[in-house]
Amino acid sequence: MMSEEEEVRREVEVTTQVALHIERMKKPYIMAKRYDWEGFWKFFSRNKDLLDKQIDLHRSTPFHYAAHCGNPKMYRDMIEWVGEGDIKRVLRLQDDMGNTPLHEVAFTGEVEMTMSILEHEEVPGSNQYQALMKMRNNLGETPVYRAAALGKTDLLRFFLEDCEVEPKIHFHRLADNMSILHTAVIDQFFGPSLSFSHHFMHVHT
């Protein structure tokens, strides 16, 4: 058991390390907030060891932020900078809302970025990437649910037709059991949610 003095010293060391890390990540954080994605890309091309580290106090990683860059090639580059043996862990890191990078990409509706993520999940002849698509955030939403609820038609079609997701798994979020269709009515994204509901009914009738 540590003495009181040792505990204080340890706490100071941890606080110092956190402060240093936040200071180091301040530059890419500001770049992202200013939509300077080229600068963001260049920063992490020189600091690849930081790609799995949180960039803000919400535990978001560079991949959570880069999901909003609108540049699939940049996103693919960043994924490839992570060692192949570590990429699955990095793509499962969740922010304080429980969102993975795939949840964030689903928010933007970027199909190419989604493909870049899932190709590192897939084992030939299997549907191993389904596990990542089933991960839920703190509201109990999967990335598929999020894409449908937010009206991301192209991405939803990709999930349903190319990835052959099982609609039943993604139809409700767990926090309040709200269906995709109910969420869409609230947010007025009817088309994609009706399409998803059609797939759901088709599969289960």
pLDDT digits (tens, 9 = 90+) for 57-114: 899 999 999 999 999 999 999 999 998 789 889 999 999 999 999 999 999 999 999 9
Q: Are 157 and 191 in contact (CB under 8 A)?
A: no
pLDDT digits (tens, 9 = 90+) for 121-143: 765 444 566 888 999 999 999 99
What domains does the chain contain, in order, with CATH numbers?
1-135 (1.25.40.20), 140-205 (1.25.40.20)
Closest CA to 132 of 140, 145, 142, 146: 142
Q: Are 120 and 91 in contact (CB under 8 A)?
A: yes
